[in-house]
């Protein structure tokens, strides 16, 4: 799969709540980074199995139900895309609505995600989760 196809497949798996399948898009030694992560939240998760564990119960934390906006920017490098994504759903624990914008820089090689840099607003995520402490506690596993 080329980069844009992989992004589309990933979004479909996310909406289907197939987090194991979503994690399966990463290379065995793939990486996901969160440069804007607050203290106590993992900044990097390395390896497909660690990513699978990190994502395992994501739908129980944030139930993404809709992609509100999606823009995929191709770059001069066919292995790299920049994705703008806005999603909406609920926080199952509280029933509160959840809406978040993401910008991801994704590097794909040999049909797998090698590197995924996820830029998101941790304050917005914390508000939806019920506070920064609740956010970091929910995602503390799988950190590097």
Q: CA-CA distance, 14 to 108, in Å (whole number)? A: 18
Return phi, psi of residue 63, to 5°: -95, 95
pLDDT band at 142 (very low <50, low <70, confident <90, very high): very low
The count of domains in the chain is 1
**Structure tokens, 28:** 């065995």
Tell me whether residue 143 is in a domain. no
Chain segment 25-75, per-residue pLDDT in tens: 999 999 999 998 888 888 999 999 999 999 999 999 889 999 999 999 999
Tell me whether residue 144 is in a domain. no
Is residue 138's pLDDT more than 60? yes
Tell me whether residue 31 is in a domain. yes
Per-residue pLDDT at 140: 63
Which residue range is the domain that position 13 belongs to? 3-138
| HSE of 110, CA atoms in CB hemisphere, 13 A | 6
**3-class DSSP state of 56:** coil
Per-residue pLDDT at 102: 94
CATH, residue 124: 3.10.450.50
Mean pLDDT of the chain: 89
Per-residue pLDDT at 123: 74
Tell me whether residue 50 is in a domain. yes
């Amino acid at each position: 799969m080329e980069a844009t196809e992989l992004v589309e497949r990933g979004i479909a798996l996310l909406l289907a709540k197939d987090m194991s399948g979503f994690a399966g898009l990463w290379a065995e030694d793939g990486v996901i980074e969160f440069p804007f992560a607050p203290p106590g939240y993992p900044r990097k998760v390395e390896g497909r199995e660690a990513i699978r564990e990190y994502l395992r119960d994501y739908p129980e934390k944030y139930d993404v139900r809709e992609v509100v906006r999606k823009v995929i920017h191709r770059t001069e490098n066919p292995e790299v895309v920049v994705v703008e994504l806005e999603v909406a759903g609920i926080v199952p624990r509280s029933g509160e609505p959840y809406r978040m914008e993401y910008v991801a820089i994704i590097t794909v090689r040999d049909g797998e995600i090698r590197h995924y840099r996820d830029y998101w607003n941790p304050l917005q995520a914390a508000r939806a989760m019920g506070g920064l402490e609740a956010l970091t506690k929910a995602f503390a596993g799988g950190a590097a």
